Structure 1
Amino acid sequence: MNTNPTNRRHFQLSLLALPWALSAPVAQAHGDTHGKAAAPVVKEQKPWGIAGDAKAVKRTVDIRMTDDMKLSPNHLDVRQGETLRLRALNQGKVMHEIVLGTGADLQAHADMMKKHPGMEHDEPYMAHVPPGQRGDIVWTFNRAGDFEFACLIAGHFEAGMRGTIRVKP
Structure 2
Amino acid sequence: MRKPEVYAAALALIGAATISANAGVGEPGHSHGAGYSAGEPGDSKKPARIVQVVMRESDGKMQFIPDRIEVRADEQIKFVLKNNGDLEHEFVLASTADNLKHAEVMKKNPDMEHDDPNAKRIDPKKSSEIVWKFSKLGQFEFACLIPGHRESGMVGTVVVK
Larger radius of gyration: 1
Question: For 1:57 and 1:113, how far apart are their aligned partners in 2?
Answer: 34
Per-residue displacement from partner, 1:4-59 (whole Å, max 9, x unpaired)? xxxxxxxxxxxxxxxxxxxxxxxxxxxxxxxxxxxxxx897322100000122321
Q: Could you say what secondary structure the match of 1:55 adopts?
A: coil
1:122: Cα distance to partner?
2.9
Q: Which runs of 5+ in 1 are unaligned?
A: 1-41
Aligned to 1:55: 45
2:44 partner letter: A
1:52 partner letter: G
1:66 partner letter: R
Matches within 5 A, 1:19-30: none
**Count of residue pairs the alignment pairs up:** 127
Aligned to 1:65: 55
> Normalised by the size of structure 1, how large is the TM-score?
0.71
1:137: Cα distance to partner?
0.7
Aligned to 1:10: none
Aligned to 1:94: 87
1:128: Cα distance to partner?
1.2
Structure 1 or 2: more strand by fraction:
2
1:135: Cα distance to partner?
1.0
Question: For 1:44 and 1:127, how far apart are their aligned partners in 2?
Answer: 20
1:55 partner letter: K
Matches within 5 A, 1:1-169: 45-68=35-58, 69-168=62-161
Aligned to 2:16: none
Q: Could you say what secondary structure the match of 2:100 adopts?
A: helix
Identity of aligned residues (%): 42
Q: Quick one: structure 1 residues 155 and 53, their matched pair in 2 at CA, closer, same or farther if it must change by over 3 Å? A: same
CA RMSD of aligned residues (A): 1.6
Q: Which runs of 5+ in 2 are unaligned?
A: 1-31
Q: Quick one: structure 1 residues 85 and 94, their matched pair in 2 at CA, closer, same or farther if it must change by over 3 Å? A: same
> Normalised by the size of structure 2, how large is the TM-score?
0.74
Question: For 2:146 and 2:89, how far apart are their aligned partners in 1?
Answer: 7
Q: Quick one: structure 1 residues 44 and 81, their matched pair in 2 at CA, closer, same or farther if it must change by over 3 Å? A: farther
1:159: Cα distance to partner?
1.1
